[in-house]
Amino acid sequence: MNYWALIIIFIFCSVYGYPQSSIQSGYVYLDENRNGHFDQGEKPLPGISISNGCDIVQTNGQGEYKIPLLDDGVIFMIKPSNYIPALKDENISNFFAFHRPEGSPGLKYEGLAKSRLPDQVNFALYSNPGEEEFRVALLGDTQVEKIEHVSHVAKLVAEQLINEQVDFVVPLGDLVFDDLDLFDPLKKVLGRIGSPVYYVYGNHDRNYDAAGLVYRDETYKANFGPSWYAFNYGEHAFLVLNNVFPENGTRKFEAKIDDLQLKFIANFIKTVPTTHSVHLLMHIPLEELANRDALFQMLKGHAHVYAYAGHTHTQYFKNFKENEGWPNDKPLSELVAGAVCGAWWLGNKDIYGVPVSMMGDGTPKGYWIMDVDGSSRTLTYRVSGNSTNDQMHIWTPPASVDHQPSMGDNDILVNVFAGNESTEVKIKIEDGDWILMEKVLEPDPFYVSQIIAMEQQKNPDEKMPYYRDKFPVSQHLWKARVPSDIGSGVYKIIVRASDDTGLNAKSQALLFIK
């Protein structure tokens, strides 16, 4: 398909009334000597997608593109499969350029400096074969509020991931807790992992004093790049969304995708073969998205769609089916990936001075690893600072949670941190038979006991976690009754959990019977 035919296919956003200042042009090329310049003899790359945040065009046979430049806009390249962009400082991909003749408006936190794009904006790519298999680190809310928290991220995440050999890292928004000056030290820490980092924008990453949608993310842009974009990796398309829709003049917001971004999504999906997997990366989960139906309809015909979010400081899986507006036979599978910060870095501290900060559903703070092999994917939860085998917590009686009637003296409860609706959890006592445990929707008893203990301490310097419900319901809790005919003594119990996401875990505990 030729270049001008593609222009006809992608309806330009200027037609919809978005102001444009000029036509931007440039080249995409294979930077064989990796010097960042389009040198004579270097290969131009055709068929590479370029966007202004709304329109998408593709480079012609000579590697050239032409696209309208929207006022106060951006030009970015959509990474093609089996190539990778050059990296900026802190391992942020060099795939974008901003056009800001007047710079960002006066804001509390520094935004984009004054800049005009040159006549040509060229993008360099390196060859990156072998994208059939790759590994991704998914980080729920880091939400650092002070520099001490950045040190915790370094210790609990960056130092662990340095040895993981991940292909790229995705922090899923709420990078900071309103103090946007912490963007800089945080990106320096995550950049030391040594892999490209693709950032997602969250509601606490916002310029609260900005007027209108256009400037809600100025400081974010100055540090990380556009707040919505896309990239391809093998036969997988990744779509990064900004679904934080602010209410002007207030700190309130709605989970919603704005019209300009919706047009970009529609244009991008047209470039993705229906046989490829689509991965939606966002901060606020899909179940809270006001215009979810519009997004879903754009994905009609795509059989393999997955979503990843943060925001809730709990973690769970959710499948969207036809009765919830999903237009395809195979459900959309969403992972709400918890939080690196757990419960906002709150709670008692461990021996190293790091807050225990357990999430409200009883999940220890941590992050996820996604391994992709062809069209299959495996998801593994990593508890920060712990063994990779640490996948569950077993609660055995006697219990001391007096006000929780569901937690009796004869209940064993197991919190499988990566559990979902398909997870099968079995238990056995000593050499007895395996017994299938019952999935229940209840608060995690260990979390409840910790909150009660914190309340009793009444330490004025310790903040309490602020969930909407004091004791949130856990989505990954299983229960079994202790057999009534068991005699007094100390027994070894073994629990195993498995499912179709790749979970295959086993743990053990001791059961005391008086």
Q: Could you state, in order of their start, the residue ranges of all structural domains in the chain? A: 3-383, 392-513
Q: How far apart are CA 274 and CA 279, in angstroms?
A: 13
The SS3 of residue 392 is: strand
The answer to whether 263 and 13 have CB atoms below 8 angstroms apart is yes
Q: How many residues does the chain have?
A: 514
| Residue that has been written with the tokens 């006549």 in this structure | 119
Dihedral, CA of residue 350, residue 354, residue 355 and residue 359, to nearest 10? -100
Q: Do domains 3-383 and 392-513 have the same CATH topology?
A: no
Q: Can you tell me the mean pLDDT for 135-146?
A: 99
Helix (H) or strand (E) holding 161: helix 159-161
Scored b (16 or more CB within 10 A) or e, 159-195 reads: ebbeeeebbbbbbbbbbbbeebebbebbbebbbebeb
Percent over 90 (pLDDT), the chain: 81
pLDDT in tens, 369-416: 999 999 999 999 999 988 788 999 999 986 444 444 455 568 999 999
Cβ count within 10 A of residue 355: 21
Please report the pLDDT score of residue 372 as a whole number. 98
* pLDDT at 156 exceeding the cut of 60: yes
* pLDDT at 123 exceeding the cut of 70: yes
The DSSP bridge pattern shows strands 49-51 and 56-58 to be antiparallel
Q: Can you tell me the mean pLDDT for 74-82?
A: 98
Scored b (16 or more CB within 10 A) or e, 306-323 reads: bbbbbbbbbbbbbebeee
- Calculate the CA 501 to chain-centre distance: 17
Looking at CATH, the fold of the domain delimited by 3-383 is given as: Purple Acid Phosphatase; chain A, domain 2 (3.60.21)
Joined tokens for residue 237: 């398309």
Residue 311 phi, psi dihedral angles, 5° rounding? 80, -40
Q: Can you tell me the mean pLDDT for 426-438?
A: 97
Please report the pLDDT score of residue 19 as a whole number. 56
Q: How far apart are CA 295 and CA 282, in angstroms?
A: 13
Rounded mean pLDDT of the chain? 92
End-to-end Cα spacing for the chain: 77
Can you say whether the dihedral through the CA atoms of 87, 92, 97, 100 is positive or negative? Answer: negative
* pLDDT at 204 exceeding the cut of 80: yes
> Band of the pLDDT at 459, cuts 50, 70, 90?
low
Helix (H) or strand (E) holding 364: none
Q: How far apart are CA 266 and CA 407, in angstroms?
A: 49
Q: How far apart are CA 141 and CA 417, in angstroms?
A: 17
CATH class of 392-513: mainly beta
Joined tokens for residue 222: 């100055």
Residue from 112, 336, 142 nearest 225 by CA: 112
pLDDT in tens, 261-276: 999 999 999 999 999 9
pLDDT in tens, 214-273: 899 999 999 999 999 999 999 999 999 999 999 877 889 999 999 999 999 999 999 999
